[in-house]
A and B are shown apart, each in its own frame.
Chain A
Amino acid sequence: MAIPSYATRGERIWHYVFLGICALIFLFLVGPLLIIIPLSFNAEPYFTFSEKMLSLDPAGYSLRWYADFFTSSAWLNSIKNSFIIGIASTILATILGTVAALGLSNRHMPARGAIMALLISPMIVPLIISAAAMFFFFSKVNLAQTYLGVILAHTALGIPFVVITVTATLSSFDTTLIKAAHSLGANPTRTFFKVVLPLVTPGVVSGALFAFITSFDEVVVVLFISGPAQTTMPIQMWSGIREQISPTILAVATMLVLLSMLLLTTLELLRRRSERLRGITPE
Chain B
Amino acid sequence: MSQSPSVPLTTADGVPLKTSLRRAVRRSKVKAFLLVSPLLLFLGIAFVMPIVEMLWRSVDNPEVSTQLSRTVAALEGWDGESLPGEPVFAALAEDLREGQEARNLGLLSSRLNYEKSGMRSTISRTARRIGRVEPPFREALIEINDTWGELDTWKLIQREATPYTLSYYLAAVDLQLSPTGEIVQVPDHLKVHVGLFWRTFWMSAMITGLTLLLGYPIAFLLTNLPLRHSNLLMILVLLPFWTSLLVRTTTWIAILQSQGVLNDVMVALGVIADEARWQMIHNKAGTIIAMTHILLPFMILPLYSVMKTIPPSYMRAARSLGGKPFLSFRRVYFPLTIPGIAAGGILVFILSIGYYITPALVGGQSGRFITNYIAYHMQTSLNWGLAAAIASILLFVVIVFYMIFNRLIGVDKVKLG
A32 within 8 A of B: yes
Contact A242 B246 (CB under 8 A): no
Residue of B nearest to A252 (CB): B247
Contact A109 B218 (CB under 8 A): no
Q: How far is the CB of B278 from chain A (nearest CB, A)?
A: 14
Residue of A nearest to B229 (CB): A1
Q: How far is the CB of B19 from chain A (nearest CB, A)?
A: 16
Interface string of B376-417 (1 = CB under 8 A from A): 001000001001100100110010001000100001101111
Q: How far is the CB of B232 from chain A (nearest CB, A)?
A: 11
Taking CB atoms, residues of chain A closer than 8 Å to B221 are 1, 18-19, 22
Count of A residues near B, CB < 8 Å?
A: 96
Taking CB atoms, residues of chain B closer than 8 Å to A164 are 412, 414, 416
Interface string of B350-391 (1 = CB under 8 A from A): 100111110001000000000100110010000010011001
Contact A135 B378 (CB under 8 A): yes
A229 within 8 A of B: no
Which secondary structure dominates chain B's binding surface? Answer: helix
Interface string of A6-32 (1 = CB under 8 A from B): 000001001000110110011011101
Question: Taking each of A21, A136, A159, which has the highest tally of chain B beta carbons within 10 Å of its own beta carbon?
Answer: A136
A99 within 8 A of B: yes
Count of B residues near A, CB < 8 Å?
A: 89
Q: Which of B40, B50, B228, B361 contacts A283 (CB 8 A)?
A: B228
Interface string of B98-126 (1 = CB under 8 A from A): 00000000000000000000000000000
Interface string of B126-137 (1 = CB under 8 A from A): 000000000000
Contact A134 B374 (CB under 8 A): no
- CA gap between A138 and B325 in the complex, in Å: 59
B233 within 8 A of A: yes
Taking CB atoms, residues of chain A closer than 8 Å to B356 are 126-128, 220
A237 within 8 A of B: yes
A-B contact count (CB 8 A): 265
Q: How far is the CB of B328 from chain A (nearest CB, A)?
A: 12
Interface string of B37-52 (1 = CB under 8 A from A): 0111011001111110
Residue of B nearest to A95 (CB): B38
Contact A260 B53 (CB under 8 A): no
On whether A46 and B227 interact (CB within 8 A), knowing A35-B254, A106-B31, the answer reads: no
Residue of B nearest to A92 (CB): B42
Taking CB atoms, residues of chain A closer than 8 Å to B357 are 219-220, 238
Using A106-B28, A164-B412 as known contacts, list a sample of 15 further A-B pairs with CB atoms less than 8 Å apart, ordered by residue number in A. A22-B217, A36-B250, A99-B36, A103-B36, A106-B35, A109-B36, A117-B406, A125-B354, A132-B378, A133-B391, A134-B50, A136-B388, A137-B50, A159-B39, A159-B43
Q: Measuring CB to CB, which residues of chain A are less than 8 angstroms from any residue of chain B? A: 1, 11, 14, 18-19, 21-22, 25-26, 28-30, 32-33, 35-36, 39, 46-49, 96-97, 99-100, 102-104, 106, 108-110, 113, 115-122, 124-130, 132-138, 140, 152-153, 155-156, 159, 161, 163-165, 167-168, 206, 210, 213, 216-217, 219-220, 224, 234, 237-238, 241-242, 245, 249-250, 252-253, 256-257, 260-261, 263-264, 267-268, 271, 282-283
Q: Which 7 A-B pairs have the closest CB atoms?
A: A126-B354, A103-B35, A137-B50, A106-B32, A133-B50, A100-B39, A133-B54
Q: List 7 A-B contacts (CB under 8 A).
A: A33-B251, A103-B32, A130-B50, A217-B244, A219-B245, A237-B250, A260-B244
